[in-house]
A = this chain, B = another copy of it.
């Protein structure tokens, strides 16, 4: 059993203690020798704080894993076994702009969905392409586990335009399993959900409890007020007739597509009159978090981290890495090429599905057809993602416009163009390709 080298790009993230906690918990099966936390100059102060906490956590756990803090990405990637990407180009300020720009045009302002997600993708693609080049040159056998949002679109870009071995990961599916288990008051191990769709647009086609179909029961609970939501999404209730007609479990993010009008209003109110956009709120939370992290006596994941969101992040990431490393043949919900798993969705695009994960990677499990209640929306959003990936890689302005026009949340070419102009202007430092 050789020791593993792990590189974490965006290592100064406030999430890092969550991740370190995950490595500590799975230490018995995952012999990590070095964790390289990589960040850029602007993030050095955060890297230093969170990195020192990471070291204290490792020390307290009695492990000999070495934590290296560095701005030298290439050195960190060289010969790595796993590269994790959790960076955010432009930081929370850029995210706040992503959230505010669309609201001017009465369009949804959100980090991953709609024009905000588009802007984030355009900033992220040049950087992820560079990282992949480094991996191909310096660690061609490494697995890239991508968390950077919009995770589906970024994974699509990686798998279409580079030769990096990559899997996209998100905490929404595992979160849904836990929430459903909670709803049914059973252990989450007993729940299986047939996930199908795209990242942040994934449906539970069928929910099983000990192998028995309990989808209707879950829908009953949901129409009866049970909660299935994430921290960062307003908890608007689902319409009962809608859920019964859908016959599937929507993910929390589906609210952005199914309740767009109310959410735009809610966002505008929060942004203009209230406590600020989600990014602006998170900035405050992070400030407090880093103060907590700085405490030299703190040597474990602090409870305040939970407020930040990202629950189950370490669970999802480290258990996936372990499944690969230990050749586990275990089922994870991941973002991979469809390859026929969802029969009526394009074969060669990235989807979010259940897959068998082992040392060879993630192979999707055949799911049959996605009901037409979902498949049309999936193809529409996927078209947007494919064109966005192309625009992000090439910097083609007209493709960028097509991409926004193709996004179901953008109401017209005119608005798409205004949004694009605004996005390019406000992100000019981060969009070398345009």
A contact set with B: CB distance below 8 Å: 192, 208, 210-213, 238-239, 241-242, 244-246, 258-262, 324, 327, 329-331, 339-344, 346-347, 356, 358-360, 363-368, 372-373, 375-377, 379-384, 386-387, 396-399, 401-402, 405-406, 408, 411-417
Interface contact B401-A360, CB-CB below 8 Å: no
Nearest-Cβ distance from residue A165 to partner chain B, whole angstroms: 12
Complex Cα distance, B378 from A380, in Å, reads: 8
Interface contact B210-A359, CB-CB below 8 Å: yes
**Contact check: which of B242, B327, B339, B411 meets A366 at CB < 8 Å?**
B339
Interfacial chain B residues near A344, Cβ < 8 Å: 346
Nearest 9 pairs between A and B by C-beta?
Answer: A211-B359, A376-B383, A340-B340, A245-B398, A379-B379, A380-B380, A376-B380, A211-B327, A364-B366
Complex Cα distance, B324 from A297, in Å, reads: 50
Interface contact A242-B402, CB-CB below 8 Å: yes
Nearest-Cβ distance from residue A422 to partner chain B, whole angstroms: 15
Complex Cα distance, B398 from A241, in Å, reads: 6
Complex Cα distance, B309 from A403, in Å, reads: 34
Q: A246-B402, A364-B365 are in contact. List 14 more A-B contacts (CB 8 A).
A: A192-B358, A192-B360, A208-B360, A211-B324, A241-B401, A241-B417, A245-B399, A260-B411, A344-B346, A363-B366, A366-B366, A373-B387, A373-B402, A375-B379
Nearest-Cβ distance from residue A213 to partner chain B, whole angstroms: 8
A/B interface sample: 18 pairs, CB < 8 A:
A192-B360, A241-B417, A242-B417, A244-B398, A245-B396, A329-B330, A340-B342, A340-B343, A344-B346, A356-B356, A364-B365, A366-B366, A372-B386, A373-B402, A375-B379, A376-B382, A377-B380, A380-B380
Residue of B nearest to A399 (CB): B245
Residue of B nearest to A387 (CB): B372
Known: A208-B359, A366-B365. A258 touches B397 (CB 8 A): no
